[in-house]
Structure 1
Amino acid sequence: MRVAYNEQMNDLADLLGEMASLAGSAMDKATQSLLQADLVLAEQVISEHDKITELSTVCEEKAFSLLALQAPVATDLRSVVSGIQIVADIDRMGALALHVAKITRRRHPKHALPEEVNGYFAEMGRIAVQLGASAREVLETRDPERAAKLREEDEAMDDLHRHLFTVLMDREWQHGVAAAVDVTLLGRFYERFADHAVEVGRRVIFLVTGELPVELGSTSKIPNA
């Protein structure tokens, strides 16, 4: 029975890693579609989102099956519960990449971004993809020290997000309200993507050590977004 449990947990871990990889790939493509006003690439992100949704459902079913049939306790219970929470975070990462692609599609054939903010979003996209890869890495290695470093990687995203607002609030902004709304929403999507990747790291730390990092324990960091 223990062998079966371990096999099921390994399957769940593999699926979570695959989900994280898909979410990172989706954000990479979504960013390229945004910067290039590439409708084909945006449509690809939108059509491929079903893969993440399907994996999310499979992961949840596996986790709840473990709870119902294996009755895990102590460390095993912590692993299953953390798995359920991680599913939700990665699912949101995929949904945020989807939102980026949908804005590209809505504004096509025009560019959703004014040229002066392209550099911000190119870098935010790079950091988001890096965080997606890091999330997959910590899911595979379960290395709490590596997981803690996701918070440091997220700081660069937070800095860019703050600087973006200085551009929007500048009196020289000449691109109108619609563009300002798009830039605000898009900046938020990237910032939230990074936050959910950090949250995956936090869950892994809890899974391995049984303790939540104090600096990341506030629920105010991750609302339902």
Structure 2
Amino acid sequence: MREVYQEQLGKLADELASMSAMVGTAMERATKALLEADLSLAEQVIEEDSQVDEARARAEEHAFGLLALQAPVAGDLRTVISTIHAAEDLERMGDLALHVAKTARRRHPNEVLPEDVQEYFAEMGRIAVKLAGRVRSVIQTQDVDSARGLEGDDDEMDDLHRHLFTVTMSPEWTHGVAAAVDVTLLGRFYERFADHAVAVARRVVFVVTGKMPSA
């Protein structure tokens, strides 16, 4: 029975790792759609978002099933509860990629981003995809040091996010209010994506150590 139970816990981790891959791919495609005004790619991200929602529902159903039928304690209970919270964070990461894709679709055939901020979003997209990949890895390996290392990538994202404010508020900004609003909202989407990735990594630390890292 114990072996079967551990196998079920392993399946929970596999489901979260799969979600991490899905949201990373979604943000990669959404960023490409944003930078290249690619409508078909934006539509693909929007259409496939339901798959992330379904994956969260499956993970939560399995987690609640373990709570109801197996009555886990100690470390096993931490794993099950953390799965529920992590699935929520990962779904929100998918939603943020969805918001980026919808912005690209809404402005099509025009480009959303002025040329002088495109490089910042290309870098934010790169960091976001990297974070999703690292989240997948730490879920699979439960490597505490690697999980804590996500904080550095999140700091890079925060720095870029803050810099966008200086760009849009500069007297040299000539692209109007609508473009400034788009840039501000999009920057927030990427920043929140990174925050949720770090939240999942902190859950992994909690599962392994029994202590939740401070935010």
Instruction: Work out whether the TM-score is over 0.5.
Output: yes
- Residue type of the partner of 1:155? D
Matches within 5 A, 1:49-128: 49-128=49-128
The residue type equivalent to 1:210 in the other structure is G
Distance apart, 1:102 and its partner CA: 0.1
Aligned-residue offset at 1:162? 0.7
Q: What is the alpha-carbon distance in structure 1 between the residues aligned to residue 81 and residue 2 of structure 2?
A: 18
For residues 186-215 of structure 1, the C-alpha deviation after alignment (integer angstroms, 9 at most, x for no partner) is: 00000000000011110000000001123x
Describe the SS at the equivalent of 1:198.
helix
SS at match of 2:111: coil
TM-score under structure 2 normalisation?
0.99
Residues 40-70 of structure 1 deviation map (CA, whole Å, 9 limit, x = unaligned): 0000101111111111100000000000000
| TM-superposed deviation, 1:177 | 1.2
Compute the displacement of 1:176 (Å). 1.2
List runs of 5+ in structure 1 lacking aligned partners: 217-225
| CA shift for structure 1 position 185 | 0.5
Q: Structure 2 unaligned segments of length 5 or more: list them.
A: none
1:6 deviates by 1.0
For residues 212 and 76 of structure 1, the distance between their equivalents in structure 2, rounded to whole angstroms, comes to 15
Three-state SS of the structure 2 residue aligned to 1:173 is coil
Q: What's the RMSD between the two structures over aligned residues?
A: 0.7
Matched to 1:95, the amino acid is: D
Q: Give SS of 2:173's match.
A: coil
Amino acid at match of 2:2: R
2:197 maps to what in 1? 197
> Secondary structure in 1 aligned to 2:47?
helix
The AA in structure 1 aligned to 2:123 is E
> Alignment length, in residue pairs?
215
Measure the CA separation in 1 of the matches of 2:107 and 2:67. 45
